[in-house]
Structures are given as C-alpha cells and as structure tokens.
C-alpha cells in the first residue's frame, strides 16, 4: 500500500511496573503524566478507576495500599508530555454510564467555570448542573440507568506577577534593598538630591570605575564639579628606569640620562592629556641646587600609547638622572 509522506509506524505505550507491599501507597513513575486520566492503572490485572489514585509530578498515590505482589501494579501512559514544553491549558474528556437515579459524578480536577457536561449527547446548560468543587459534577435531574454522561473539562493555569519582557518594565518597586550585584555595567547612577551615594568595597571586590569616563560630583549648592581621573602613574629609578610602583604603565624606557619614554599598559582614548612629576635628588645632588627646580617636560609629541619626557633642572639646563622620579598622567 502506498503512503503520502512518511509510512506510519507503531510503538508500544510506555509502561511502568511496580510491586505492591500491602502498605505502600506512593510510587515514583518514569514520567509525569498530565493528570489521572492520562494513565491506565491496573492492579493484579484489574483496571482501577482514576478516582482511586492521584498524580503529582512523577508521584502516583493510591487512596488504599495495593496488595503485596511481584510486579502486580501496572501503569500505562497514554501520552508522554513533550520535553521543555509548559502546558498552560488542556482538555480532559471523561465518559460515565449512569446508574439509576445517579446525580453526582467524580471527574478529574478542573478549573471552576471551565467544564462542559453532556447527557446522552446533549450539552447541558449551566443551570442543569453544579460544578463548583473542581472534582465533582452534580446534575439537577437524576439519571436513568444506562444514561451516557460525558464531562469535558479544561484545566487552566495562569502566570501571576510576571515581569513583562518589554523595555523599562522593571521599576524600583520590585527591587529589594541591600542588593548584591555581580560585575554590572552601569552607565548612569542617579541619587536623590537629599541622599548621599556611598560606594563601598566588599572584601577583595571593590568598585571598578571606567577610567575613560569622567566622574561628576554635585557640590550640594546647585553646581556640578567634574573629577578628571589620573589615567596612569609610575615611580621609577632614574639611572635605570626600573619601576618601583605603577598604574597603567607597562614599562619605562631610558633613552639616555634624564630622557625616558613612558609606555601605557592600556592605551588612552586620545593624546590630549597632561603629565606632572617631581624627582628625588641623588646623594651627590643637593636640594639647594636641584630640589626646587625638578620638573617633567614633554619631549616630542605624545601618543595614546606612550610619551617621551625629560627630567631637567635649571641649574644645568639639561637632562639629569635623579634617584627617584614620580610621574602622573591626567585627562
């Protein structure tokens, strides 16, 4: 026989088997069925009414403990929930054959207001039955023996207090105080006019500020003062260029006596920066002739990655090696 598309194939329903103990009522299933009507349960070959057991996740719980026996409990799954899919609503149809004068029917759990009832194929209006418990339907008019009663229920779930996936949907109302934020990138921090903004260091993790940006501080009198950061600094030995301490300085190149190149570890955004420095005389140099005249001059054109400078004194009007040089870069 020819088929359009793929040839149909068959597969056995997934089945779990358990051994009763005579006292155990709860059993762990392989998968989580949607509800009690999504599985067929048999004990010693006898089909069990869904009202005699309940399911919660992968736990099957009997209202009375099944008798002892080896593999005498069978659970056959009529369908396996798809992996990774969240079910928000589903439909359950339950068929009953009424007994004489029967009015009450136990149905799988339903959401009140989301159930239809049919009697002998005719849909009943809401005044013909009561369905307010979530598990029971009671007819107004008693059934005749053999009547067909069908319930069609809908279990509906809702997501409450969810944050919409839209821009600016979160306000400070939903944020707790004393939050710990791990490595955030914050463009702007705004503090109320009457509230001081305090930056704290926690253990080895401090507040990291991008040095390519400027900080602005409100003086409290309506004006704003800008704090231009120190972009790099170094302390080094004049005779060798050996670094004693530094920040954003990868190395000092000694081009000659009192002639050095400062190399940045991280390039600056532009070369419009200023440098300032001072020096400590050697033992052969006196504070009288050198101490008050030690300055740092540019030598050439600065770049974003390095600049060349001289340490000189008005006493000799030429480059000099000093014991220690202290240089800082501002922008």
Instruction: Convert the pLDDT of each residue in 121-168 to its tens digit.
Output: 999 999 999 999 988 999 999 999 999 999 998 766 655 566 777 777
- Predicted TM-score (pTM) of this structure: 0.38
Q: What is the pLDDT of residue 293?
A: 47
Domain final position from 130, 156, 182: 156
How many Cα atoms occupy the beta-carbon half-sphere of 88 within 13 Å? 3
Q: What is the pLDDT of residue 128?
A: 95
Q: What is the pLDDT of residue 142?
A: 95
Question: Residues 139, 146: contact at Cβ < 8 Å?
Answer: no
Domain final position from 77, 102, 119: 77
Give a yes or no: residue 72 inside a domain.
yes
Taking only the tens place, the pLDDT of each residue in 290-302 is 444 456 767 788 9
Q: Are residues 65 and 104 in the same domain?
A: no
Question: Residues 251, 237: contact at Cβ < 8 Å?
Answer: no
Q: Are residues 323 and 250 in the same domain?
A: yes
Q: Are residues 321 and 234 in the same domain?
A: yes
Q: Are residues 98 and 38 in the same domain?
A: no
Cα–Cα dist 309/67, whole Å = 95
Cα–Cα dist 41/123, whole Å = 30
Domain final position from 135, 156, 177: 156
Cα–Cα dist 154/80, whole Å = 18
Q: Are residues 259 and 323 in the same domain?
A: yes
| Band of residue 310 on the pLDDT scale cut at 50, 70, 90 | confident
Taking only the tens place, the pLDDT of each residue in 65-116 is 999 999 999 998 886 554 444 555 567 889 999 999 999 999 888 888 889 9
Q: Are residues 42 and 129 in the same domain?
A: no
CA 199 to chain centre: 24
Q: Are residues 48 and 106 in the same domain?
A: no
Give a yes or no: residue 255 inside a domain.
yes
Give a yes or no: residue 1 inside a domain.
no
Q: Are residues 239 and 319 in the same domain?
A: yes
Give a yes or no: residue 201 inside a domain.
no
Nearest to 318 by CA among 255, 241, 259, 232: 259
Q: What is the pLDDT of residue 292?
A: 44
Cα–Cα dist 77/133, whole Å = 27
Cα–Cα dist 46/119, whole Å = 28
Distances 142 to 37, 81, 99, 147 between C-alpha atoms, Å: 25, 37, 9, 10
Q: What is the pLDDT of residue 178?
A: 75
Give a yes or no: residue 9 inside a domain.
no
Give the strand pairing for 318-319 and 306-313.
antiparallel
Q: Are residues 31 and 111 in the same domain?
A: no
How many Cα atoms occupy the beta-carbon half-sphere of 249 within 13 Å? 25
Q: Which long-range contacts (CB under 8 A, 24 or more apart) does 81-85 make?
A: 81/31, 81/32, 81/33, 81/34
Give a yes or no: residue 223 inside a domain.
no
Q: Are residues 65 and 101 in the same domain?
A: no
The total number of structural domains that make up the chain:
3
Q: Are residues 285 and 317 in the same domain?
A: yes
State the residue range of the domain holding 150: 89-156
Cα–Cα dist 261/309, whole Å = 6
Question: Residues 72, 44: contact at Cβ < 8 Å?
Answer: yes
Give a yes or no: residue 244 inside a domain.
yes
Q: Are residues 40 and 112 in the same domain?
A: no
Give a yes or no: residue 166 inside a domain.
no
């Amino acid at each position: 026989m020819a088929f359009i598309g793929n040839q149909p194939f068959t597969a056995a329903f997934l089945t779990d088997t358990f051994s009763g103990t005579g006292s155990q009522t709860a059993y762990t299933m392989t998968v989580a069925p949607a509800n009690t009507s999504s599985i067929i349960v048999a004990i010693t070959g006898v089909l069990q009414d869904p009202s005699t057991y309940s399911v919660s996740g992968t736990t099957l719980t009997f209202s009375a403990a099944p008798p002892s026996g080896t593999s005498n409990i069978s659970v056959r799954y009529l369908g396996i929930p798809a992996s990774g899919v969240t079910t928000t609503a589903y439909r359950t149809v339950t068929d009953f054959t009424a007994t004489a004068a029967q009015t009450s029917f136990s149905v799988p759990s339903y959401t009140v207001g989301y159930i239809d009832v049919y009697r002998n194929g005719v849909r009943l209006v809401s005044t013909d039955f009561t369905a307010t418990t979530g598990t029971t339907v009671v007819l107004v008019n008693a059934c005749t023996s053999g009547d067909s009663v069908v319930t069609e229920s809908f279990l509906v779930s809702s997501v409450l207090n969810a944050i919409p996936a839209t821009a600016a949907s979160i306000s400070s109302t939903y944020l707790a105080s004393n939050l710990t934020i791990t490595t955030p990138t914050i463009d702007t921090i705004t503090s109320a006019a009457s509230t001081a903004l305090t930056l704290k260091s926690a253990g080895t993790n401090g507040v990291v500020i991008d040095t390519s940006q400027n900080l602005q501080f409100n003086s409290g009198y309506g004006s704003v003062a800008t704090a231009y950061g120190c972009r790099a600094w170094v302390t080094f030995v004049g005779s060798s260029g050996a670094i004693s301490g530094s920040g954003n300085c990868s190395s000092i190149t000694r081009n000659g006596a009192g002639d050095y190149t400062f190399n940045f570890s991280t390039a600056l955004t532009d070369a419009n920066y200023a440098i300032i420095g001072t020096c400590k005389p050697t033992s052969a140099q006196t504070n009288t002739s050198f101490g008050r005249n030690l300055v740092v001059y540019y030598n050439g054109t600065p770049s974003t990655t390095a600049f060349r400078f001289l340490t000189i004194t008005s006493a000799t009007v030429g480059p000099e090696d000093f014991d220690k040089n202290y240089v800082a870069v501002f922008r």
